Amino acid sequence: MKIHKNDNVQIMAGKDKGKQGKILKVDIKSGKVLVQGLNLYKKHQRPKKQGEKGEIISVARPLNFSNVMLVCNSCAKPVRIGFKIEGEDKIRYCKKCKSNL
Range of the domain at 12: 8-72
Per-residue pLDDT tens digits for 59-68:
999 999 999 9
Per-residue pLDDT tens digits for 9-24:
999 998 999 999 999 9
* Total length of the chain: 101
Phi, psi angles (nearest 5°) of residue 78:
-70, 130
State the CATH number of the domain containing residue 43.
Answer: 2.30.30.30
Taking alpha carbons only, the member of 36, 98, 37 closest to residue 73 is: 98
DSSP string, 4-24: -TT-EEEE-SSTTTT-EEEEE
Per-residue pLDDT tens digits for 31-84:
999 999 999 999 999 998 888 999 999 999 999 999 999 999 998 899 999 999
Model confidence at 1, pLDDT cuts 50, 70, 90, reads confident
- Identify whether 36 is part of a domain: yes
What's the total number of domains in the chain? 1
At residue 101, the pLDDT reads 84
